[in-house]
Amino acid sequence: MAKGNQVSIDALRPEIWSKEVMKTTIDSLFFTQAGMMSYSYEGMLKSDPGIIQLDERLKKSKGDTVTLGLTAKHDPNTGISDGGEIEGNENKRTPYSDSISISSEDFAERLTGVLDEQKNAYDMRMDAKEKLAIQQAEFLEMQMFLKLGGVTNVLLTDVAGNVVGTKYDWSNTPDYIPDADTAAGYGDRYLCADYTNGADSLASTDLLTPRLISMAKVKATTRSSAGMPKMRALKINGRNHFVLFIHPWQALDLKNNAVWSQAQREAGVRGDENLIFRGALGVWDNVIVHVHDYVPYLDISVAGYSFRGEAVGTQFTADAFRALLCGAQAATFVKCNYGPNNRLAWVEKDFNYGRQPGFCTGIMGGIQKIAFTVSSKTREYGVLALDTAATAIA
């Protein structure tokens, strides 16, 4: 009887813990806490679109790919005037689509043994669960920024020298910024701080400024080429806003910019009751600026001269930070059940005759920035990359 009861408990605990771990992971994501995540059911949004769209349709159905349908607005000049013939002159909607594939990623920890557990005052098993949930959340956040930034450089590091680009192609390879755009210094969804000569002339003094933020917003809200729709803004308190993610080093330069500092003193962060304003560095030209250390950083002495990888793409002449101006539905996170009833999302196993417990958690899904193809060119739907240098902090 005792043995049977033990089997029952072991069978229930992983199922309960898998839900707890996944809920902790999703809830602790920066995009969730800042109110930037929207949810969809069977492909239909259940709320106003956020920057990241969480799609859970594969939780209830089999498949390895989710296809998203995108459409552009009609041209306002294609109406029929003065009783003209309507039949045969109707608008024809231009459909686009993007597909997101899924992969899995596992995270595991094995405790050293029951003697070590006895010696420590804290609950090592509960701590293992929490640490694995944090690791999983950080992995997902890093993937979101790599995808949004179009990073395909496996050697990319953070400012501390830790390699962060190793798994840039997890689930989906990011669509990189066109070489022609980075070389020119501007494009439909791109802007360089040296917007007259391009990234291959970027200097260490080409810093992030309020003017660059406004220029990026103008590019996002105007159609710069045929077939290129405007980026869709986020509706916050009845007003249109975009969100700009910048690196802490870029934030330091912005704080030391006199124009920025004066604007923040006079206006401050508006609409504090909305989550998306909380924790923001400030607001400029209806662009809410948030700071995150996963904003892609290119150390040309370590990772090579391009966000695309060594010896490919435009060769940067200075260390660069890729700030990201985001609107609605910039990226999608597809989440699936991991195994039947999601049981593989949390697995416990005993080693060494039950004296060494081990835990494994995992996620099955996919992340990709949303893009569409116009005139044989891939274009981002809801994100614009802004490359600048930054004052180095020793």
pLDDT tens for the chain, 394 residues long, are 333 333 334 444 555 566 677 777 888 898 988 889 887 765 555 567 899 998 887 766 666 676 665 555 555 666 667 666 777 666 665 556 568 898 999 999 988 877 666 656 557 778 888 889 899 999 999 999 999 999 999 999 999 999 999 999 999 999 999 999 999 999 999 999 999 999 999 999 999 999 999 999 999 998 777 667 889 999 988 899 999 999 999 999 999 999 999 998 887 655 556 788 888 999 999 999 999 999 999 999 999 999 999 889 999 999 999 999 999 999 999 988 888 878 888 888 888 888 888 889 899 999 999 987 766 777 888 999 999 999 998 7
- Domain ranges (residues) in the chain: 2-74+94-136+331-372, 152-328+376-388
Please report the DSSP string for 328-388 in residue order.
Answer: TT-EEEEEE-SSGGGGGGEEEEEETTTTEEEEEEEEEEEEEE-EEEETTEEEESSEEEEEE
Q: Label the pairing between strands 320-326 and 287-291.
A: unpaired
Alpha carbons 317 and 308: distance in angstroms, whole number: 14
For residues 173 and 151, what is the distance between their CA atoms, to the nearest angstrom? 9
What is the β-pairing status of strands 383-388 and 320-326?
antiparallel
Report the alpha-carbon angle 102-107-109, nearest 5: 165
Nearest Cα neighbor of 180 from 243, 245, 225 is: 225
Q: Which residues lie closer than 8 Å to 178 by C-beta, 6 or more apart? A: 187, 190, 377
Contact 259/253 with Cβ under 8 angstroms?
no
